[in-house]
Structure 1
């Protein structure tokens, strides 16, 4: 629990990530997913990021919700970002879906380094796709 003045941070201080029940920064299974700071999405809205793991398993999960201007744009992005052939050995599982005009991506892995690499590669691809959609106008 934070003290009342914990919200008043100096200009040089970084925001604190949510702490789990063990105080180590991991999230308990009962807490669901914690929300990380929001980043601007391609449509100018905020794209919340959630990361969760349970103490009984070592599975890590990252959920990205990317807002688009229309459901068609979100479906086009989903189509471009969905791999045609999945590798035989999946170190990171990636599930893409469209909810309304949002692209929802859920990535899970047992290894943090593989999850980080996948998120980085996906964000690079997402940047290219949203740039193409923006340059060509809404589909």
Structure 2
């Protein structure tokens, strides 16, 4: 009985929850990697700029500046610029150039293996019309996707 008492008394209880609390409460958070602190002068300047940017005075000054600026006198130049931009927009082909430059080996449309919403082989409803695991890998239109 005495031996059992000595063995039990040698074990110290561990409180795992408090160990985690002590880890974060001890100030170890400051030792984590982070950007360097700014010098005091730069930090004060940064805070002043943030306050200034959030102030309504900046918007008022900007609006006053817009109202006092002289309007464009030469409307012909302005009209030419507008017509050039409109022509560029009309002539913009978008992704057609990208599509033509890509390889022609991949089809752009899948060929459905069945009609309707239910796959006759698997019984899947509203699934893909072409079996993506046909060749042992997950592919659509010849392009294999990786998980």
Q: Which range, TM-score by smaller chain?
A: under 0.3
Using the size of structure 2 for normalisation, the TM-score is: 0.20
Q: Which has the higher contact order (CA 8 A, sep 6+)?
A: 1
Using the size of structure 1 for normalisation, the TM-score is: 0.21
Answer with 1 or 2: which has the greater Rg: 2
